[in-house]
Amino acid sequence: MNESQESYFTIEKKRMRIAFVPTIVLVCLLWLIYILDSSLTLQLYQYGVYPLKMKGLPGVFLSPLIHHSAKHLLSNTLPLLVLMWCLYYFYSAIAHKTFLLLWLLSGLLTWTIGREAWHIGVSGVIYSLSFFLFFSGIFRRHIPLIAISLIVAFLYGSTVWNMMPWSMYLDANVSWEGHLAGGISGLIVALIFSKHGPQKPHKDWMDEFEDETNEVYAVYGSYCRIIDKVVIKIDQDDVENDDRS
């Protein structure tokens, strides 16, 4: 491994560690809030989203921070760690504003389309992250980012069923509206930032000219070889005819 390769891997390792910082901070904050809420009986669910009511508007900002049980928060912790790290590592240049927009838009859509109940939890943000990562790779048509899209689809593709209305009959505490709002938000934000952040590399005009020139030479060479074979065949036929005569 040469010096430039070592430098590259050193930089990438540093970027990987940095991408974990906001993720770990948020997860620790979520657990701290839950511990305080459950131990002091603060009833923080009242700061969640309550659709189409003014009392529910603060939840657009605050609802992802609140969870009704340790099981609820635990089920959200690992997906949040994975997806948020992917955002901050692969889309580091636009990660902050992307995450903020996903957070607010998913909450606002939940406030708009949700049923009359308190909607809490970070699962809407998780759905928005997964949809953003999936569609961003597709829109950019860049192989490494498409690979991330496929990994996200493989890991979390089955969760799409929790965006459907019938999921509330399986678990009354599931906010399918929050999940759906998160998915829609992820798609919208992926469209908004499709021309920002990492992009598929474009060749400059010299590279394109060189490629086209090489292609022309390759085609020309093929024609020349075909013509040579035809000429040789004609010469052989002429020699055979002369021998017969």
Distances (CA, A) of 179 to 18, 162, 245: 28, 7, 89
Give every CB contact of residue 192 below 8 A, 6+ residues apart in sequence.
101
Contact status, residue 94 vs residue 108, Cβ threshold 8 Å: no
State the pLDDT at residue 206.
46
Domain count, the chain: 2
Any domain includes 34 = yes
Tell me how far the alpha carbon of residue 138 is from its chain's centroid: 9
Residues 44 and 87 in one domain: yes
Q: Identity (one letter) of the amino acid at 20? A: F
The pLDDT tens digits of the residues spanning 65-104 come to 999 999 999 999 999 999 999 999 999 999 999 999 999 9
Most confident stretch, 59-68, 138-147, 163-172: 59-68
pLDDT band at 205 (very low <50, low <70, confident <90, very high): very low
Contact status, residue 136 vs residue 145, Cβ threshold 8 Å: yes
Residues 124 and 235 in one domain: no
Residues 131 and 10 in one domain: yes
- pTM value is 0.80
Residues 93 and 176 in one domain: yes
